Chains A and B, each alone.
Chain A
Amino acid sequence: MAAFDIIRSGKHKTPLKPKPMADMPHTELGMDYKVWCDSHKGTHKWRNIRWSVLIFMNLLFVLSFVFDLAILEGSLSGSRLIGFYLMDPFNALQELAISSTTGYIVHLTMNFWIGLFTILIFWFLLGGRSYCSWMCPYHFLAEMGERLHNYLVKTKKIKEHAFHTGIRFVFWFGFIILALATQQLVFENLNVVGIVSRAMIYGPGLLLFWVFGILLFEIVYSKRFWCRYVCPIGTTWSLVGKLSPLTIKFDLDKCGYCRDCQTVCLVPHELWFVQRGKATQETHYTGSDCTNCGLCIDTCAGNALSYTLKGWGTVL
């Protein structure tokens, strides 16, 4: 899987030579480098759009229940959008794993299958892990926690602790094996996404303390710990998004090597090509770990990053 990503991203090729000073965007504009870098500070176009969508969708869940609107019923683990079922894929995957060993699989309704495939196609078209930044209520909380965390790191109150991102797959397989071994959807009892979603719709419960515990851990110890290293839902979506057309495009000739985009990014390894002397092609695309949150687009002074439908350029 990883090898496949490398070939696709162009990481295996020999890097291009870094641009000379004369070709840098700030010299072309006749600006001071520092001033140029900060010229997009305070731009939050995509962040504001994304937060609006995220809050609106989660509010729609709540309002549908409170006012009996029948627009978006259920919760993030399974829902019905104007009558059409939608299933959480990791939940469904555990369910399928257990029920195929016990034979219960034959009882699953047609709505289950339709819901599973609808949501897979839907988020595949929208970039897979876009679910995280555009839909997940915990992502929103974690973004707030991240700001606090960044402040604490900046003022040297705490140290940053990073881990290997590959342990997501240990958790992903681990939770499926755990489900098979115990015949319970164990992950659902620990799933901060589902807990927050359910708490918003059906009322808060004791498990919110678990959510706050994770959040606190992220704030004082390791930045975005759950999203980066644990969440198997995000991992599932990143697998779904492997071949998704919607990604973020990088134009080397507009880049000023400032790396601001990597600092704001949840998954900085997906932006490996922004570093001076790393890019191997004139244009690069982010891989499937990218949540298409648009923070890098907002922060980029040279507009080197943009949303794109890869492979559809000639059609549209």
Chain B
Amino acid sequence: MKRFAQLLEQLAFSPQRTGKTRHLVQYFAAVPDPARGYALAALTGDLALRKVTPSMLRALVAERVDAELFALSYDFVGDLAETIALIWPGGGGADPPLPEVVEELAATAKTALPGVIAARLDTLGPSERYAYLKLATGGLRVGVSGRMARLAVADFGTLPLTEIEELWHGLTPPYTSLFTWAEGGAKPVNAAKAPFRPVMLSTPTDAKALAALDPADFSAEWKWDGIRVQAVCDGGVKRLYSRTGEDISAAFPDVLDALSHDAVLDGELLVRRGDAVAPFNDLQKRLGRKTVSARLLASHPAALRVYDVLIDGPDDLRALPHHARRARLEALPLDPARIDLSPLLRFDTWDDIAALRAEPGDPVIEGVMIKHRQSPYLAGRIKGHWFKWKRDPMLIDAVLMYAQRGHGKRSGYYSDFTFGVWDGEALVPVGKAYFGFTDAELKELDRFVRTHTTERFGPVRAVAPEKVVEVAFEGLAESSRHKSGLAMRFPRINRIRDDKPAAEADTLETVRAMIPR
């Protein structure tokens, strides 16, 4: 338990992915089975111990601590589990094995839980109490995604991440077979129905790179602005996975219902009303849900636009060339209300493609996909097979408003920037960016922030409205959560516009007019 508590602290305070991964790899190397597997399950959200509620914990602590003292403390600390961990009277130095604790929580009936939890809290020290409470309530909040945790297992065992992702949904905590494999043992056999298969990814391209290729070798499709998914139907078991292998089935029952034929399909998940594809923002309302209401299903109906088939009935098609898979895909029985084919674009030359890309005719198209007709379906991002040629990003000229210091290699540099546009006489913030600039530009911006600070709020500085930056972004939508009423996707600082006075930066009105309708 002590080592697990230490891991959570390391993860919570490491600002960067590389640091988090390093701590995880060290943990997997140092801790035996089954403890490390339970820790992994806690991080990936696969440890189903959801019986402990905040109200149960509040009642427990009320028996030990004066209510007013607790309220004052909670107010100061701001996190329930942390407050209880710190305030719980006594402080044992117990170090029970993590598996013992997890199995106890899993096996205890709800009525007996408060007593079991209190007894554990009595024996543990503050840091272990915190880890224990986070484990019991789910939600570790240490900034580690399931994918990052699996990536750390791959690093630890020098295994291909794609193979771990393919196996993942057939494995259960404490993942002993996975760690055996990571340490040189046999690869686990995939026993689960409807597993995830690693997806094929594309590399960016442009007119210049394409010029070296023969257009006759390629086919092309629109690149739709949805999310990449894999739909699996396997002997009655149906699943929808994100491209990193997260199971998102629960949020999309409408799509699952439309799967009837045993197959593994690759396509774009969209919100589609009749023939009209809705902007990404509409799809976002459907994402990240555990359940979905009938009302939302009706107002935001999800659909698949498929472009590849990996498995058709008993046949694994991944070794076939793209054109042969495409023929199999076109022959599949699909429910046209929810699943349709991504049409192929007609072209003879790259100039034809460039013209299509310039005028796609639908605002939810974000470019073209160009695929080699002979390519097998390959896991990962392998060069030379699939290319994406995205539309040019949207650009605005904005004024720097606030800056915050960065972490790690950017310690001491102001590297996170909030920028705004003019709304009458005032600037209104429209986005934040912390990449896109070169090292030299970062130094220039840092120097500007230091010499033009007008106010300080903790690590944040307000700066004089003088610096204009060109901001590039991929999408723009209405948002009631932002003061400007706008939300940008992937904003980054494209270049510094020292040639432009701040008064000539864009206005909110101009930016609003860029929202796709």
A, B: real partners: no
